[in-house]
Every structure is written in structure tokens, then in C-alpha cells.
Amino acid sequence: VMEGRCAVETWAQFGFSGRSYKVKILCGFGTDVLICTGTEEIYVFSKRERKITASIRFTSDASSSPAELKISQECLVVGADEVSSLLLVGSVLLTLCQRDASWLLTLYKTPKQTASTSHKEFGSFHLPVASAVDCGAAESNRGPRKGSVLICIHSGDVEASSSSNASAESTVAQDHFHLEPLLFKLLFGVEAALAKSPVILCGLPDGRLCFLPLRLPGSRLRVLHSLEQPVCFVGASVVTETGHAQCLVAAGEQGRVALIKTDKAGSEGGSAVAAFTEGCVPGPVWCGCMDKSCFYYSTGADLLRLDLSEGSFARESKERGEETSGTTAAALQSPSSLNVCRVIALAEPACTGDVQLLGVSARGQLQRICLPAGRVDEGSSKLPSTQVSRSVRDLLSAIGDVCERYAPSVLKTVIKSKNQFLRLLNHAVSVSFLLMADTTTDLPIKEKPIRCHFETSWSRLLQKDSLSLVCFLHNSSPFVLERGWTLSITVSPLSYSSSPAGESSSTNFSFPFHDLRPGQTFEASLPIAAAGDASFPMTVSCSLIFSLSSLLGEEEVAASFAGLQSSCISLPLSTLTVDWLHALQLNSPTATHKMATVQPSSAAADSIQTFLSSRQLRCSGRTNRGGESAAKPEPEKYSASVWVSSEIVRDTLKPKKSSNLDAKESIRDPEDLYKIALSTSVAHARGPNGAAMKLTVKEVNHKEATIEVQIESSSLAAVCGLHHAVLRRIQRHRESRLYKECPDFRIKTAFGEVVSTVQRDRLLLSVYQELRRNPLLIV
């Protein structure tokens, strides 16, 4: 046998398995051991023959699997349901069960030999069920009811009289303890001691330890202590030479252990008091048993031993007083492992010599567990456990000190900032994925998680008009756009020719975000052009940029990695062409400076509506035929005109007629143009270069219903620009219709690379044919 290890000898295998809390081993029947499986069987194992000699079965289910079962005769007949534990004290049988809202301890008188088998109930005690104790109650609702513990405690000095129940002696022992008289008196009162009454102690699943002096007239069930977790073991240990236990032990299912001892040098006045020491041992406690000085318990994973006598004795003689509780607590902290696992029931057959335990494993094996011969502490010259634990405690605190001292705040902040950094990166990646998913799927713009739109407006500052573009970025993604994220807007003219230097005249604006939370909108206003010096149309493209450098902190990066500065992730958001129409300043009587843009507001919008409704009535029913435009330049005034089928305009207008038009949409669609013009039929406006221009819209009944849009201005640039803008829009509109009509094309263009040139040609041809069939637009 190895030092410090137990010898486990399997004696028998039973036909049951599975984890059950209800398995019990009962010793004290001579050489027989009884194993109650908690179901309907009891096995009798003979130690001498080393085999199971009998098994007792209950045919009826009347015995609802009591947690403890004593069999003094072959059958005890007590018709009680749901008995959770029982105990035999002399001629009295006690049962404990839960009835509705109270615990019921019932006393039965066992018949005197010859009388009938049925036991006569002659008393019962109630104890209200405590309000549910955390998990214990919840579990008991689900699973089977937890068992309770019933034991009987005698005062040590009553032994002389207890010989009278010698008849029952053979059956008792395991659940009967003789407690030191002083402790007995302290816990249960002088009266119980004077009446020589045994005391029934019951541990309930709600954690309470209750006691009842059995023979004291008028006594009640009273609460001694509460473990606040289901009690799974109660016993007495630390037995002196006189055979009196000096310590009452109660163990809860989750490892809370209460040791109750006499504190001789009590707090006040020097009289003895009962000292309750509570501590936690590594739980869960599945089952337990006691011998003369130790408490053994199984956690399922291991069998542990708590030595309760050691230390507390040796030291008590030397230094009294508060040391007692200290050492007891220390004893609780150092259970020693015995390296036996999966024990679900334990018993201590009280043999002399070596310590032997009987256990039942979860697999249903009856095992004899021989503890290492001689105490472990004798083998090695090891320090008393109290000293060990104290030095360990010192060491631990020293380590703690060092840790405190040498882990400076810098390190902590570095760790913290790194965590922060990782979090930000994670966000960045998430946002990127979000936006990438955006481009592949084709969400309507309103449903995009991060979207932006623009508005243009003229403003006058210092006698100078200037066009500014306001960009709104709405964050409806679940992420916060924080430090490191920048909104970048690039404005570049569509054609470079105007630039004298020939170089790219694009302008870049960037707006770093600070903390754009989900649901918030960011608004950035940027000047595009002052009046007169702009080349329209221009492209505005905006993108989200995540830069590592801003994340890391500029100064560090600048210092160490110059190259890293450019490293950033750029995610395009949207692109917009700002053309002449956007930049138009209307000169209508109601129009102020701001009216130039196409904001559907106030009076203008109303008049548009009225006009539209009247116009629409007249237009309805016309056939769908395209129009034709022709530029008719004149010497002093240039003009251009576009013919559009009113059908198109009407079609697209219809669904949106009542809705409040979104600014960003309105500016792009032909109906706006239509609206602008139709609101007055004739619109006078100024272009961005200051040139006055006239926009006329009239209905021409050429062949079919057609609308003619005429642009007149003295400035050629203005005419061209506006004409371009109008055409572009109509074109775009037409295009989108086309996409709808021949989706095939769209799909193929979407996979542009795959389509071969031949195919493309063919496609274009078909598009052309399509266009020819509906000749709507000829430039």
C-alpha cells in the first residue's frame, strides 16, 4: 500500500447503478451489512462469507423509499406517505415527512413483541417549512425530494440508564451519539439533561437543524442552527476516553460544515458557551460518516477526511481561548484527500485497529476502504496543519504584496489600452463586413446600416453666394463609430479641362468621428463652390476610413512607423454627381436664396402638388410614346429643349405623389425637374456661374402627350450644363426602367468581368433594339 493512499477492495457488485442520493449502508448487525438502494430493495451482505446473503424486497410501494430504513423485524407497518427519514429510539419509531407547509415529526409506539404489527401513532410535531432556501427549494421542485437526516443524541452521563434499551442496542449505534454532558446541556437545555431525555436532531433540506427533547413534557421542535443549504449529514465526533463526543458536526450539501463545540472560556463571565464554527470545505458533499476523530465525506470526485481532533486538542491545553475556534476553522480548511472517487454511500463499521470504511460506489459496488495504517502525520515530520496553513497564508499575502508593488500602473494601463485597441479593431472589422455585405446584396438605400445622403444649399456670406453641400451620415448599425473612424468626402469635377494647371483639382474633406452611437446622425457641411468659380458637374464620393494610426495614437506612430500613417481601411459609402440642376438658383417670386435647391417645402411644394394633380388628370389616358429633343441654338440666346413622354414622368410620379419627397432622391429624378418647371411653367433661375437662365416646361401635343423642357440662357455654358443635367437625369431614369424591363441585362452587367466581348456586343445590341422599340430619348 502506497504511503497516503487507501486500499480499496471491492466486495460485491449490486444490480443497480446511477447516481442516487438515497443509497445507505447500515452496519451494526453483527457481521452483516445492509445496503438500502433507496428503491425497493435491501441487500444483506455478510462480511464473513464475503457475499450477498439475502435481499429484501418490498412488494408494495407503500414504503416510499425512505432515505434511512431500519429493519428490526421483517416488516414494520406504518402507513405514512413520503417519509423522508426514520429513526428508532428505544421503543419509539420516529418518522419525518413534509406535509404541505410544514415538517411533521411523528412518533409511533412500536408494539411490544406479541401485539399487532401496526404501530400506534401517539404524537406529532410540526415545524413550518421555511421560505425556500436558494437553489435547494428550486431543485426539490424539479427532482425527487431531498432526504432529511434524523439522529438521536444522548447526554453522555445517561449511559447507565441507556442500558435499559439494550434490547434495541443491536439496531442502533449508527444514528445514536453520546454527547459530552456540558455540550448537551448548552445546546439542548438543562431540563433535557435532568429528564435524561434523548434529543432528536433533524437536518432538513432547507438547511435547518432542529431538535426535540424526546421525553420532556411540553417540549417543541426548535431550531438549533441553520446551514442555509440542504443538510446531508449530522453526527458527533471527537470522542474522548469516556466515550463522549465533544463535537457536533453538520454538513451541508454544498460543503458548508458547522462544528459545534463547547467553548470553556466563554465570552462573558467565564461560563462555558457553545461555540458554532462554520466553514466551507470543497463540496459537494454526497455522503459522509464519522469515526472517533474524523469526518469522512465524498464529493463524488474524491473521498476527503477532516481531522477534527488534531490540533484543537493539542493546542487547547497550551493556549486557550480564541485559539480554539481558530484551530477548528483551520481544521476545516485542510481536508486531506484519500483518493477514492465516486463514493455515494459511506459507513464506518466501528472496528478496532485500522480505520476501515464501507462505501458504495456510483457503479453499485460495495467497497471496503482501508485507510493508510497509522496517521499520515506520523509518517512525515510535518508541521501541525495549523502552522502549515498559517505559513501558506503568509506566503500568499506576501505574493499579493509583491504583486501590488511591482505591477505598476503603467502595465495595467498598457493592458487596458490593448484591450481597448482589440475591441476597436473588432468593431472595425465588423463594420467593414457590414458595409461589404451592403455592396453585394442590393439593399434599398434606406435599409443600409450606414448610409449617407446629401443636400445642397446656397448661402450668402459677405455679399457672396456660395454653394454648400451638407452630408448626413446615419448610423443604424449596431456599432459605435468612434475614434479611428473618419468620414472622407472627395469632391472632384467631372471634367478636368477647366483646370488651368491641368492637375486634378479634387478636394478632400475628412471628418473624424468621436462617438457616433447607433441611431445617431452625423452632419457635415462642406463648401463646394463660390458663385462663379465652379465647374459643374462634379462628383462627390464619400467613404468611411478607418485608420490604424489614429487608433494607435498619432505621436507614437509618427515617431516610429512613418509608413504606417497611410495604412487605413477605406470603405466607399456612396457617390453623387452634383450637376447644374443642383446648383440652380431659382428666381421665383417666392424663392429666396435657399429656394434654389429642390427642397419640397412650404408654398412651393403646395403649388407643385396642385399643379401636379391638375396636370395629371389631363395626362392620364395618354399612350406611352417617347418624345424628341432638339437643340435650337439662337444667336443671342442659346436654348436647348428636351422632349419627354409625359407617361414616364407620370409613371414615376404617381407612387410618390403624396409622400414627402426625400431631398436626396428628389434632386436626381426627372420629376423634380418637371416639378420645378411645372410649378411655374416657366422658371427663371441663375446658374452657379451667375448666368440667368429660363426653364420652360410645356405640354406639346406633338403626336402623343409629350412634355417639352426648354432651356434658354445667354450663357452657352449654362445651357450646356443644364441640358446635360436634365438629360442625365432622364437617362438615368430610363436606365432604371430598362433594368426593370430586361433584368437579364442587369444581371449580366453585374458580373461584368465574366461577360465576353462578343456577348457584350450582343447585349448592347439588344439594348439598342430595346431602345429603338421605345424611342423615348434621342439626344
In whole angstroms, the minimum distance from the beta carbon of 7 to another protein comes to 42
**CB-based contact 297:284 (threshold 8 Å):** no
Q: Which is nearer to another protein, 164 or 658 (CB)?
A: 164
- Lateral strand order in the sheet of 507-512: 507-512, 485-493, 538-547, 568-578
In whole angstroms, the minimum distance from the beta carbon of 244 to another protein comes to 14
**Rounded (10°) CA dihedral 340, 344, 345, 350:** 10
User: Considering CB under 8 A, how many residues would be counted as binding another protein?
Assistant: 45
Residues between 135 and 164 with contacts to another protein, criterion CB under 8 A: 161, 164
Cα gap 632→709, rounded to integer Å: 12
Q: Which is nearer to another protein, 107 or 358 (CB)?
A: 107
**CB-based contact 82:66 (threshold 8 Å):** no
Residues between 196 and 255 with contacts to another protein, criterion CB under 8 A: 196-197, 212-220, 222, 224
Q: Which is nearer to another protein, 78 or 583 (CB)?
A: 78
Length of the chain: 779
Q: Which is nearer to another protein, 186 or 576 (CB)?
A: 186
Q: Does 655 sit behind a cis peptide bond, omega within 30 degrees of 0 on the bond before it?
A: no
In whole angstroms, the minimum distance from the beta carbon of 177 to another protein comes to 18
Residues 53, 117, 240, 271: which binds another protein (CB under 8 A)? 271
190 binds another protein (CB under 8 A): yes
In whole angstroms, the minimum distance from the beta carbon of 276 to another protein comes to 9
**CB-based contact 136:205 (threshold 8 Å):** yes
Q: Which is nearer to another protein, 40 or 121 (CB)?
A: 121
Residues between 112 and 131 with contacts to another protein, criterion CB under 8 A: 118, 120, 122-123, 125
Cα–Cα distances in Å, from 662 out to 279, 456, 613, 728, 732?
A: 70, 13, 19, 20, 18
Q: Which is nearer to another protein, 6 or 224 (CB)?
A: 224
Residues 133, 187, 360, 467: which binds another protein (CB under 8 A)? 187
Residues 28, 189, 205, 288: which binds another protein (CB under 8 A)? 189
Picking from 66, 250, 226, the residue whose alpha carbon sits closest to that of residue 145 is: 66
Alpha helix (H) residue ranges in 273-384: 312-318, 323-333, 376-379
| Site track for another protein across 90-109, x = CB under 8 A | xxx--------------x--
In whole angstroms, the minimum distance from the beta carbon of 31 to another protein comes to 29
195 binds another protein (CB under 8 A): yes
In whole angstroms, the minimum distance from the beta carbon of 184 to another protein comes to 10
Residues 21, 188, 295, 536: which binds another protein (CB under 8 A)? 188
Question: Phi first, then psi: what are they for 378, rounded to 5°?
Answer: -80, -35
Q: Which is nearer to another protein, 195 or 631 (CB)?
A: 195
Question: Phi first, then psi: what are they for 78, rounded to 5°?
Answer: -130, 115
In whole angstroms, the minimum distance from the beta carbon of 115 to another protein comes to 12
Amino acid at 4: G
Residues 18, 269, 589, 752: which binds another protein (CB under 8 A)? 269
Q: Which is nearer to another protein, 72 or 490 (CB)?
A: 72
In whole angstroms, the minimum distance from the beta carbon of 213 to another protein comes to 6
Q: Which is nearer to another protein, 219 or 246 (CB)?
A: 219
Q: Which is nearer to another protein, 172 or 357 (CB)?
A: 172
Number of H helices, E strands in the chain: 19, 39
Q: Which is nearer to another protein, 123 or 690 (CB)?
A: 123
Q: Which is nearer to another protein, 194 or 402 (CB)?
A: 194
CB atoms within 10 A of CB 61: 9
| Site track for another protein across 167-186, x = CB under 8 A | ---------------x--xx
In whole angstroms, the minimum distance from the beta carbon of 123 to another protein comes to 4
In whole angstroms, the minimum distance from the beta carbon of 189 to another protein comes to 5
**CB-based contact 673:729 (threshold 8 Å):** yes
39-47, 266-274, 520-528, 577-585 -> range binding another protein (CB under 8 A): 266-274
Under the phi-then-psi rule, with left for phi > 0, alpha for psi from -120 to 50, and beta for the rest, what region is 168? Answer: alpha
| Site track for another protein across 549-568, x = CB under 8 A | --------------------
CA angle 241, 245, 251 (to 5 degrees): 145
Strand segments, DSSP code E, in 447-520 are 450-461, 464-475, 481-482, 485-493, 507-512, 515-516
**Rounded (10°) CA dihedral 666, 667, 668, 673:** 90
Task: Report the largest interatomic distance among the alpha carbons of the chain, rounded to a whole angstrom.
Answer: 140
In whole angstroms, the minimum distance from the beta carbon of 274 to another protein comes to 5
List, in sequence order, every residue forming a beta bridge with 541; answer none if it has no partner.
490, 575
Q: For residue 226, what is the enclosing H or E element?
A: strand 222-226
Residues between 68 and 87 with contacts to another protein, criterion CB under 8 A: 79
Query: What would the grid cell of residue 431 be?
Result: 463594420
Q: Which is nearer to another protein, 266 or 527 (CB)?
A: 266
Torsional sign, CA 577, 579, 583, 588 = negative
Q: Which is nearer to another protein, 90 or 282 (CB)?
A: 90
CB atoms within 10 A of CB 182: 18
Cα gap 439→424, rounded to integer Å: 23
274 binds another protein (CB under 8 A): yes
Query: What would the grid cell of residue 292 be?
Result: 472517533
261-269, 332-340, 607-615, 616-624 -> range binding another protein (CB under 8 A): 261-269
Torsional sign, CA 585, 590, 593, 597 = negative
Chain residues that interact with another protein, rule: CB under 8 A: 79, 90-92, 107, 118, 120, 122-123, 125, 161, 164-165, 182, 185-191, 193-197, 212-220, 222, 224, 266, 268-274
